[in-house]
Amino acid sequence: MLNNILNIEGATILSKSEQRVIKGGDTCYLRVTVGEESEIFMVSTNDANADCVTIREAGADRCQYDCGFDGFTADWLLQVQ
- Is the per-residue pLDDT at 63 higher than 90? yes
pLDDT > 50? residue 72: yes
Which of 56-60, 70-74, 75-79 reaches the highest mean pLDDT?
56-60
Q: Is 3 exposed, middle or buried (0-12, 13-18, 19+ CB in 10 A)?
A: exposed
What's the pLDDT tens digit per position in 4-37?
A: 555 666 666 667 666 555 555 678 889 999 999 8
Per-residue model confidence (pLDDT) at position 4: 55
* 58, amino acid identity: A
pTM confidence score: 0.65
